[in-house]
Structure 1
Amino acid sequence: MSQATQDLFERYHACWADRDPDRIAEMHSPDSIFHLHSGGKPARGRDEIRASAADTFAMVPDLTFNLVNLRVGDDFWTVQWTLSGTSAVGNVVDVDIMDLVLVANGEVLEKHTYVDGVAMQAALTPSASA
């Protein structure tokens, strides 16, 4: 394990926990990729990454991350989370995700997030009784 990568993970996670798209984007390299593997295109570059993070927080304004498992190497981390909160349409969010994050020179180069699509779609879809 690399202590520098562990420290980067902790600073990066703090930006997500604080729901701060600006700080999230600043921690990415200028040509970084953030890909939420749920059918959409990857966000490329800091501006698109900032917008993608802001969209995430708009969908689940009280989003919290519950750490399940973390593995850190010299140039990567992989982490399993359970996301929780209430979606913008009022549904409970309880979704498993897995991140693979590639890093170099103290910056995030790529972030790939794999999500339980069925659970996420259920959380984001307005219910028939609404």
Structure 2
Amino acid sequence: MSDSTRELFERYHACWADHDPDRIVELHTPDSIFHLHSGSEPARGRDEIRASAAQTFALVPDLTFHMVNLRVGEDFWVVQWRLSGTSATGGKVDVDLADVVFVENGAVREKHSYVDGVAMQAALAAPAEMA
């Protein structure tokens, strides 16, 4: 395991836990990619990544991350999460997520997030849609 990659993971996770899109993008390379694999296009570059992170926090304002498993290598980490919170529409969020992150020169080069789409869609559905 790379100590520098593990340290980057810790700093990066703290930014997400604090819901801070500005700090998140500071840890990305300028031409980085963030792809939430949920049917949307990847966010490319810091401006798009900042907007994508902000949108995530707007959808689930009290989003919390519970780590299930972490593997760190020289230039990557893979982490399993259990996400919880309450969606902006009032739905309970309790979903699985896996992140695959590639590191280059001490920064996040690519982040691929794989979410339980069915559970997330149910949590984000407006109450009228759930009836």
TM over 0.5: yes
Q: Which residue number in structure 2 is paired with residue 76 of structure 1?
A: 76
Q: Which residue number in structure 2 is paired with residue 57 of structure 1?
A: 57
Q: Which residue number in structure 1 is paired with residue 9 of structure 2?
A: 9
C-alpha root-mean-square deviation of aligned residues, in Å? 1.0
Between the aligned partners of 2:26 and 2:42, the Cα distance in structure 1 is 17
Residue 106 of structure 1 deviates from its aligned partner by 1.0
TM-score by length of 2: 0.97
Q: Which amino acid aligns with 2:108?
A: V
Q: Which residue number in structure 2 is paired with residue 126 of structure 1?
A: 126
Q: Which amino acid aligns with 1:70?
A: L
User: What does residue range 25-104 of structure 1 map to in structure 2 within 5 Å?
Assistant: 25-104=25-104
Q: Deviations over 1:54-80 (max 9, x none)?
A: 000000000000000000000000000
Unaligned ranges ≥5, structure 2: none
Between the aligned partners of 1:3 and 1:26, the Cα distance in structure 2 is 20
Q: Secondary structure at the match of 1:69?
A: strand
Residue 105 of structure 1 deviates from its aligned partner by 1.1
Q: Secondary structure at the match of 1:62?
A: coil
Aligned sequence identity (%)? 75
Q: Secondary structure at the match of 1:84?
A: strand
Q: Which amino acid aligns with 1:19?
A: H
Q: Which residue number in structure 2 is paired with residue 23 of structure 1?
A: 23
Q: Deviations over 1:75-129 (max 9, x none)?
A: 0000000000000000100010000000011100000000000000000001237
Aligned length: 130
TM-score by length of 1: 0.98
Unaligned ranges ≥5, structure 1: none
Q: Which amino acid aligns with 1:79?
A: V
Between the aligned partners of 1:26 and 1:41, the Cα distance in structure 2 is 21
